[in-house]
Structure 1
Amino acid sequence: MIEWSSTTIKAFQTTLLDWYDKAGRDLPWRHDHEPYHIWVSEIMLQQTQVQTVIPYYERFMAWFPTVTALAQAPEERLLKAWEGLGYYSRVRNMQRCARQLLADYDGQWPQTAAELSDLIGIGPYTAGAIASIAFNEPVPAVDGNAYRVFSRLLEIDADITKPGTREIFEQAISRIMSTDRPGDFNQAIMDLGASYMTARQPDTAHSPVKAFNQAYLDGKELDYPVRTKKPRPQPVDYVAVVTKMGPDWLMTQRGSKGMLANLWTVPLIKLTDLDVTTDDSAADLISAVRQYFKQEYQLILTATTLAVRPVTHTFTHQKWTIQLLQGQVEPAELAFFAGERVSPTDLATLPMPKVQAKIWDRYRQADPE
């Protein structure tokens, strides 16, 4: 790891912040230093691109403008606000955190990263971002951008997937970051990592901090950051039964725990629960699904195949491949069915995961009506 002199550190701070003042991104959560706004944006930005987040952020603020509004929100509306962002545990933890702020802190935000880390769902990065931007505490906000930027600037070869590596980066960045403008410093690093110092196609030749990028100067920029490869997501096969009962859709609500908790989908059945494989015929699949509906739901199903490609959707640890069937069930009580009949007009009010949106899109390719 390269060690910079105090002169180099000062030159880097000046270069970085001058560039940020001229070219920093104009984002809605940067229009003030309100910790609630910073917090919501940072949680949304986990696993999600900035341009995707902006309309979600603006709608979220319109629906839940304060910590109190968020704490009191019905879960269904909360999940609807988050629909499409994925990783729904994030927004559930946000509501728990909002309630914790009201109950334990009288609605007031702690002002240091150490105290912020005691809040539900706030890890070291988010704590650093809020503390530095909202309260001017000189503490690093170490996320993927910071790992990438500083591993290249300083040729830090510690594996970023290892638990102890964060402390190495925090110590290195703490020696370099501006104590006068820590929030702007952290946001400048975010912008640098999203522009000139991206993961696969950096444009360091035009970067404002090119002269400080040791990995670039040594011709090995893409060797950083060092990381152990993640295991591939495990394949899981499903069948989605896009089902109607009369004019209404038959929708299931997933359980309160596990993947996609409390969200709504069409009936989704694992192929392993049907005692069929991807090599079996369409007739065998339909027969197995009809038997499943009869045994599990006490419903009589008529089903046909749809001439569309399977839907694929990748989660962190699983990759789903979903075959689609179209079905109709005879009117009956839904005592054994974990869901409801939903009218076409009410369908849009249900919180649904992104994979369900893919199912609807694929279904409409076969049945545009």
Structure 2
Amino acid sequence: MSGPDAPPGPIHTARTDAIARIDPLLAGRSAGGPVAALAGFTAVLRHAGLAVPTDRVAAFLQAVGHLGVTDRERAYRAGRVTLCSDPDDLPRYDIAFATWFDPAITARTAPPAATPPPARPAPLGSGRDPDADADGSAEVLEIAVAASATEVLRDRDIAELTRAEREHLRVLLARLRPDPPLRRSRRLSPARHGGADPRRTLRAAMRAGGELRALHRRDQERRPRRVVLLIDVSGSMQPYADALLRFAHVVARRSPASTEVFTLGTRLTRVSRELRLRDPEHALRAADAAIVDRSGGTRLGEVLRTFVDVWGRRGTARGAAVVVFSDGWERGTAELLGEQAGRLARLAHRLVWVNPHAGKDGYLPVQGGIVAALPHLDELLAGHSLATLEELLAVLRRR
């Protein structure tokens, strides 16, 4: 049934209820109240692609309460000030507000956007085109385009990504499920293969009246091997630092008891505790607060010596898989870096160096730091894209 006499649908009803919640004249008749409508609006903004943490939501609600809002226009202005952190957020905010509250508010107050918002990669299966054919051909095309964009993004250099592509990369990094490398323990446990287990075999025979029916076996247990991530956060590594810290957060959250994360710059900073927080945004903010030498110089040799002296000999690096993320630019002496890389390699089970520039065409390991450390490395990998970070996880898992 369609036309002016058709009953309102569920979408129209929900939208009418939301408008009623924000309108102070009708707020007394709403079960949810205006606060529920404002909180629901922030959820819509998150779906639209805006980064709206809880502190911004609190600031928005406080601003609305301070203004004593009497119409939707003031709520619109309060939200623009508190919920938008970037000029690219304004067009999406206007669309979300018009969808959630009142289409007329943006026509009256919203200034025209100078440039269109950057296109965000559509999630797989995000919906059908309203102009699609009855057989759903437009939906198939949309899914194919989205899948192709994701595959292209996996091989793109992180330093060359746009703002929208970086947001998409954060989502893809959060979806990683890295399996920790395993090591053999001295403890023996029941297994299908391995040496004979006399005790269990004899006990089973005694329960069967002395008849030996099966030979039980035992083998060494497999336990997670410790993984140590050393991330260079100097100025030359700044385009990659955020993605590498998010990658470290995924690894630390997957195996918090067997993962240690440090940052390298002019000093050594341990950020393992900060990166164990569940929410990636909270974890990254806590790590940024702890790192005081970000985007500065690099003294890899001195910092590695501090790590080996303070943490390595304690057992943090002993028998561990140690991964150094750095481009190898060293302000100190390359001889010191080579010496400390050798000490670290003797402590660690494997020493892997990840250089973002190693994935570029024509790359040669000519930087002084890389030349000095190269004889002590087990692997030299590229870490400039999502695909190369996945390759790193596969290398660690195989070893």
Question: What band does the TM-score fall into relative to the shorter chain?
Answer: under 0.3
TM-score, with structure 2 as normaliser = 0.21
Relative to its length, the structure with more helix (as a share) is: 2
